[in-house]
A = this chain, B = another copy of it.
Amino acid sequence: MPPALLLRSPRLLLGRSRALPPLLRLRRAPGFSPSPLLVLPSHRRLSAAQLADPLAAAGVEEAVVGFVTGKRKATEVAHSVWRSIVRKGDTVVDATCGNGNDTFALLKMVADERGQGRVYGMDIQDSAIDSTSSFLEMAVDSHEMELVKLFSVCHSRMEDIVPKDSPVRLVAFNLGYLPGGDKTIITIPRTTELALQAASRIVSSGGLISVLVYIGHLGGRDELDIVESFASSLPVDTWVSCKFEMINRPVAPVLVLLHKK
């Protein structure tokens, strides 16, 4: 009974019976030569949220008041703040592609007719890059696809990927494990710290580092400690570090936003 299935789950089953292109396109920045990368064909399910137009998503008021009243998630607060800061034609970085939801949302924010906008996406797991790439193949047009550069590499190496002459408006992190993936593969404090340091070097004045820390898994709290330690160490004359969190839900994700003045 597929209709009942659909009612029970918000996920749409599009693409389950369709074979995807055998090798998904990955784009690399000029001069970057990562180790050979094999991206396997994938059958995946897209959620309704993934297919939704992010431009129709919550504004800051709706997201923040919704967060306060329990109707919206921290990730929606993050996206709404991004939309207030990111402009068409900007260069942005998705430091942890995961299933590609943020990469997609960021692409919609920067995609411009002149083709100047860029999203540099990375993830240490090949399966995440595969997932992101196949999602984008289905969800965006070829013009927008040209604006995305995906790399299977640790986020601590983002400076190897983003061209030095590109002012970066936003670096987005989702810390934890890949939803639906191998939960034993998680982002870890040491490389996260290096990645945050790298992000703080490449983000431009007026830009933002957005860190959503999932803490419901083993090691999640340790990673939050590293993020908070890094955020609180940023000099107050050049950075604004703030944190939004639920305090009667101990495993709810924590949003840390770092604005470079």
Contacts and interface: CB of A to CB of B under 8 A. Distances in A.
Contact of A257 (B68, B231, B239, B243): B68
Contacts of A162: none
Interface string A114-155: 000000000000000000000000000000000000000000
Interface residues of A, number: 37
Interface in A174-220: 208
B248 A245 contact: no
Given A60-B61, A233-B248, A249-B236, A259 B68 contact: yes
A246 interface: yes
Interface in A67-97: 67-70, 80-81, 84-85
Contact of A64 (B64, B231, B249): B64
A240 B68 CA distance: 7
B240 A242 contact: no
A261 interface: yes
Given A60-B64, A259-B70, A248 B240 contact: yes
Interface in A244-259: 244-250, 256-257, 259
Contacts of A208: 68
Contacts of A231: 247-248
Given A231-B247, A240-B248, 20 more contacts: A60-B61, A60-B64, A60-B65, A64-B81, A67-B242, A68-B240, A68-B242, A68-B259, A69-B240, A70-B259, A70-B261, A232-B247, A232-B250, A233-B248, A234-B248, A235-B248, A243-B244, A243-B246, A244-B244, A247-B256
